[in-house]
Amino acid sequence: ATAFGEMLPQHKNMISLDETKKDKWGLPVLKIDCATGENERLMRKDMIADMADMLEQTGVKNVRTYDGEYFPGMGIHEMGTARMGRDRKTSVLNSHNQVWDAMNVFVTDGACMTSAACQNPSLTYMALTARAADYAVGELNRRNL
């Protein structure tokens, strides 16, 4: 059985440019700092117990649980690398999905979302993209971009 849970956003989980490692062109490579926390550990424990209980409720006998190793990246909807917010000091994007420091750049994938449930977020990405495109067209027509 498989269960999905939400990994809470934490400021210590981030992507930055590595100050010491460079790629073959001499550019800094990405440095990924990401770890699960106490919430995720407890949630996994609870999900495992719930799954075992559900199986037993259906008549399955001798249910044995196993909690294998988990690390960030094993999930399929990683997000939050370009946080959307109201303050350029704490976010990468404004409320229109524009990069604060490059107003002609819009980010409308999961990077703008710090967290999500286990449902597929594709429709949300489509809605964010449609909204950002509508805003960008308006800004282009006003010659602000």
Q: Are residues 23 and 43 in the same domain?
A: yes
Among 75, 99, 119, residue at a domain's last position? 75
Decide if pLDDT at 127 tops 70. yes
Boundary (domain end) residue, out of 75, 96, 114: 75
State the pLDDT confidence band at 145, using cuts at 50, 70 and 90. very high
The string of pLDDT tens digits covering residues 45-103 is 999 999 999 999 999 999 999 888 887 877 767 788 899 999 999 999 999 999 999 99
The type of residue at 58 is T
What percent of the chain is predicted at pLDDT more than 70? 99
Domain boundary among 46, 75, 104: 75
The predicted structure's pLDDT at residue 44: 92
Residues 27 and 14 in one domain: yes
CA–CA distance from 63 to each of 41, 44, 49, 51 (Å)? 21, 17, 10, 10
Question: Are 122 and 106 members of one domain?
Answer: yes
Q: What type of residue is 2? A: T
What is the extent of the structural domain holding 15?
1-75
